[in-house]
Structure 1
Amino acid sequence: MKYEVILFDVDDTLFDFGMTEKEALHKTFQTYGISTPQVEYLPIYKEISGGLWKELEQGRTTLPELGEQRFTRLFRALGLSIDGAAFNRDYLSNLGKEVHLTEGAVELCSQLTGYRLVIITNGFDAVQKARIGGSPLCNSFECLVTSEEAGFQKPDKGIFDYVFTQLQMTDKSKLLIVGDSLTSDIQGGINYGIDTCWFNPLRKENKLGIQPTYEIHALMELLDHL
């Protein structure tokens, strides 16, 4: 067996984050009595949030700042007088209740019984643990490491060092990371010197010059590389 440990990203890898985000936002807006159509606010929110997550990867913001600022900026753009920090807390609570798995996630994990499976995510600690804990994958992972817990976010080597220590590993060649983000998951794995697998279900063109060890378009294709 080439690998002993498989590190999985969560959002847009094992979980459908697009659906999760959409449902949680809708429910939180309803709580605040706001009937703003999703067609109006969702594209604006995605642009703001996406930019902040990139800043987080680059070490230019923190997770708490990201949470508050994404909604503060959104409400400013929409002309709404809502406390961004309070809304973020309610949104995260709703986010943790949304469980939308990617096709093949349960089947794949059920067939990886000979491997040590680990979650490595830049997401909020309480949210990710709630979502995984409430899903059919709740007993699939040896440990769940978030950037909030580790104090570093992908692609920083620090979060990988944290996982390496937690697992008491000594051989990097025995680890493989699987994720959808070239700049976070794949670059992070490359930085740390471990093999990488880019989950690319939409068959996006790789224009970044970041070369994964493997590329798959469906989760079950991972089995072909183990």
Structure 2
Amino acid sequence: MLTNIFFDLDNTLLDFDGGEAHALSRALRQFGVDPTPAVLDRYHAINLSQWELLEEGKLTKDQVLTRRFDLLFAELGAACDSRAVCDRYEGFLAEEHGFVPGARGLLEALAPRYSLYLATNGAAAVQRRRLADAGILPYFRNIFISEEVGFHKPSPAFFRACFAAIPGFDPASALMVGDSLTADIRGGRDAGLRTCWLNRMGRPRRPDIVPDYIVTALDQLSVLLETL
């Protein structure tokens, strides 16, 4: 019987991509870099690749935070202090808490019926402020943020730490919902959870990472849960 649901945060419940573009534009302008669509797109691609290296254990979180800007500024020929830009960007990002369509209503509907947990990578100060400003903290029984847990998704150690904090937890009773095939789906499956991939952007499937369920919008998740 399904009684526990783990949700990813970024691009699953909160619109990270929109918040990222707005926060990054503000930060780059303050350091004299024009945040054109091409620059924002290039940063997004670099940033994603660096977090994937973190998931593979090839970089540390601190290396990711500065290296993504090092690589961007090297391509642009911009003489900017990557650490200073990163700090400014993270501060602006903490103010961004727009919702993925349907997220608030889904949490309102599910919280009385299931034990909800949040399982997210990222900086604790940024994520906790966004959660508080979005007003969704009360829906969750517990919040698990990689920086506080000490491990990153998809590491099995991250999920083991989550499970250990839930009295009497049984992985067979839980579902992991997220937008990342690597962090959420592979991580959840390796930890013994059923998984649901939120594929809002029509990304291609991967034969080596197969979710138990796929939805393309959060309102489909409510329908799916009725069958489990």
Per the normalisation by structure 2, the TM-score is 0.93
Cα distance between partner residues in 1 of 2:75 and 2:168: 47
Superposition pairs of residues 98-137 of structure 1, within 5 angstroms: 98-112=96-110, 113-137=112-136
One-letter identity of the residue aligned with 2:142 = C
Deviations 1:190-209 (A, max 9, x none): 10111101101223331333
Q: Which structure 1 segments of 5+ residues have no match?
A: none
| Alignment-derived partner of residue 48 in structure 1 | 46
8 Å contact 1:106–1:136 — kept in the other structure? Answer: no
Structure 1's consecutive aligned runs of 4 or more residues displaced over 3 angstroms after TM superposition are none
Q: Secondary structure at the match of 1:139?
A: helix
One-letter code of the match for 1:187?
A: R
Deviation readout 1:136-174 (Å, 9 max, x if unpaired): 323211221111111211111011011101112331111
Match of 2:75 among 74, 77, 96: 77
Measure how far apart 1:30 and its partner are: 2.5
Q: Within 2, Cα distance between the matches of 1:114 and 1:49?
A: 36
Residue type matched to 1:59 in 2? G
Residue 4, structure 1, aligned to residue 3, structure 2: yes
- Taking the aligned partners of 2:190 and 2:27, their CA distance within structure 1 comes to 38
Q: CA deviation at 1:35?
A: 4.7
CA contact (8 A) 2:28 2:35 kept: no
> Aligned pair in 2 of structure 1 residues 163, 133: CA closer, same or farther (>3 Å)?
same
Report the counterpart of residue 21 of structure 1 in structure 2.
Answer: 20
Query: Quick one: percent identity of the two aligned structures?
Result: 35
Distance in structure 1 (CA, Å) of the matches to 2:87 and 2:94? 11
The answer on whether the counterparts of 2:172 and 2:193 sit within 8 Å (CA) in structure 1 is: yes
Aligned to 1:195: 194
Any idea what SS the aligned residue of 1:167 has?
Answer: coil
Q: CA deviation at 1:73?
A: 1.7
- Structure 2 equivalent of residue 172 of structure 1: 171
Distance in 2 (CA, whole Å) between partners of 1:187 and 1:22 is 27
Give the distance between the partners of 2:116 and 2:195, measured in 1 at CA.
Answer: 15
Size of the aligned set, in residue pairs, is: 224
Q: Report the Cα distance in structure 2 between the residues aligned to 1:67 and 1:108, rounded to whole angstroms.
A: 32
Match of residue 146 from structure 2:
147
Question: Counterpart of 2:209?
Answer: 210
For residues 133 and 168 of structure 2, the distance between their equivalents in structure 1, rounded to whole angstroms, comes to 29
**RMSD over equivalenced CA pairs, Å:** 1.4
Q: Is the 8 A contact 1:10 1:121 kept in 2?
A: yes
